[in-house]
Amino acid sequence: MLNTSLPQSATALDKGISLVSATVTGQADKWFFLGDADGADRALRADSCLIAPECGDTVLVCRGVTVGVTSVPYILAVLSRAHPSHGVLALPGGAAITAGGGKLAFTASEITMEGGQSVSVSAPQVEMKAVEADMQFVSLRTSIRDLRGVLGNVTTVAQSINSTVGRLLQKATNSFRWTENLDETRAGRMRLQVAERFHLKSKHTSMISEGQVKIDAEKIDLG
């Protein structure tokens, strides 16, 4: 067990300060219970000890530190871990970085990432979950091989949309479209099939065909 006093040149108030090693046996709130600490049965974690001690860890304890009118032992560092594959980096304000099993997790009320030039994320799989999201881009370029989406309500406001599609297939229960000025469709061939009633209404109608025009019905009313 390590028990080392500070150098003799320390001030008189620091003569009682010593360093010992101990094993963490438990925790209650901010207090850590210690075993084999040579007189110190519990201690607080010092702000400089970023790795949060856990049960079974061997820690370095500083005794004789006066806080107010009482002497409080502090854990300065974690010397060895009982579970080396797991650890929590405790930061001020309740934020923490957890590592375990090759995984890394950030925990905080707010997390901000700011890159002076760029921020790059590369992974075989990326998963994002949020109740609400706000994304703003001056210019956005995307390249997606396969896109599948399930959307509730979609509202889009755009000044201009240009799209080039090899094949477009749409299915809707009801479809409504309003065009304020011109609606033009150009196609090599066009077929319109309506299961029930087809109604066309306009102020002026022109049908021009360079070849044959055929109208076939059980009854035709003109005028």
User: Is 80 contained in some domain?
Assistant: yes
pLDDT in tens, 63-82: 877 776 678 899 999 999 98
Q: Are 7 and 15 in contact (CB under 8 A)?
A: no
Here the CATH number for the domain that contains residue 78 is 2.40.50
Q: Into how many domains does the chain fold?
A: 1
User: Is 140 contained in some domain?
Assistant: no
Beta strands in the chain (DSSP E): 3-5, 18-28, 31-35, 42-45, 58-67, 70-80, 86-90, 96-100, 103-107
| Spatial separation of the C-alpha atoms in residues 106 and 97, rounded to whole Å | 5
User: Is 44 contained in some domain?
Assistant: yes
For the cut 60, the answer to whether the pLDDT of residue 4 exceeds it is: no
Q: What is the widest separation between alpha-carbon atoms in the chain?
A: 117
- SS3 of 206, please? coil
User: Is 219 contained in some domain?
Assistant: no
Lowest mean pLDDT, pick from 6-20, 112-126, 157-171, 207-221: 6-20
Backbone angles phi, psi at 101, to 5 degrees: 60, 30
Q: Are 104 and 97 in contact (CB under 8 A)?
A: yes
User: Is 180 contained in some domain?
Assistant: no
| Spatial separation of the C-alpha atoms in residues 104 and 127, rounded to whole Å | 14
User: Is 182 contained in some domain?
Assistant: no
Which residues on neighbouring strands pair with residue 170, listed in sequence order?
Answer: none
pLDDT in tens, 37-59: 666 788 999 988 989 999 999 99
User: Is 50 contained in some domain?
Assistant: yes
* Global confidence as pTM: 0.61
| 129/40: higher pLDDT | 129
User: Is 77 contained in some domain?
Assistant: yes
DSSP of 116-163, one letter per residue? SS------S------SS-----SS-----S------S------S----
Q: What is the extent of the structural domain holding 13?
A: 3-98
